Amino acid sequence: MQPTNRSSRILLPVKMWFVYLTLFVALFLNYIPTGHLPAVPDFVALVLAFWCVREPLKIGIGAGFVFGLLVDIGVGAAMGQHAFAYVLLTYAANELSRRVMWFTPVEQALHVLPLLFMSQVLMVVVRLMAGAEFPGWWMFFGCFVAALLWIPLHYVLLLPQYRPVERDENRPI
């Protein structure tokens, strides 16, 4: 597997413990009580989308549901609110995986942005239907920040899979 499908570098297979470790780190970042600060990205959604695009056969809707519930409990949201949004997010990311992998990280971020935005919109719609107040447009800024974070994330999360470059005259790959 390569960093993107056009790249000629071959990566080591992903280790599942590393996937879950990064998800828990993202969960930790989501739990940091930033209150109602604008433009705080949803880290769990971002990391879930990343792994669902990278490894559609290994991680998917089930993980989205479980981590959604954990976020719901941690931030005091309605039970199932994040779970619902993440389930649809992970499904869409899994489905998009084959297409997205052909693009450079910047273009990938542009593909993921609508997904993250959609998950925010879903949560707002669900809560508004339940009679909550509209929190303001600032809560949508987070997904733009998250899309920007995709680019550094693309290198950071793949670091354990890179292997040293060995030049071999007989094997050009």
Which residues would be at the binding site for other proteins (CB under 8 A)?
A: 1, 13-14, 24, 27-36, 55-58, 60-62, 64-65, 68-70, 73-81, 83-84, 87-88, 91, 94-95, 126-127, 130-133, 135-136, 139
Closest residue by Cα to residue 97 from 56, 136, 58: 56
79 close to 72: Cβ distance less than 8 angstroms = yes
Residue 3 tokens, joined? 């960093």
Nearer to other proteins, 79 or 156 (CB): 79
CB of 165 to other proteins, least distance (A): 19
CB of 102 to other proteins, least distance (A): 13
Residue 119 tokens, joined? 């998950």
Residue 35 tokens, joined? 């209150």
Task: State the chain's maximal CA–CA distance in angstroms.
Answer: 67
Nearer to other proteins, 122 or 169 (CB): 122
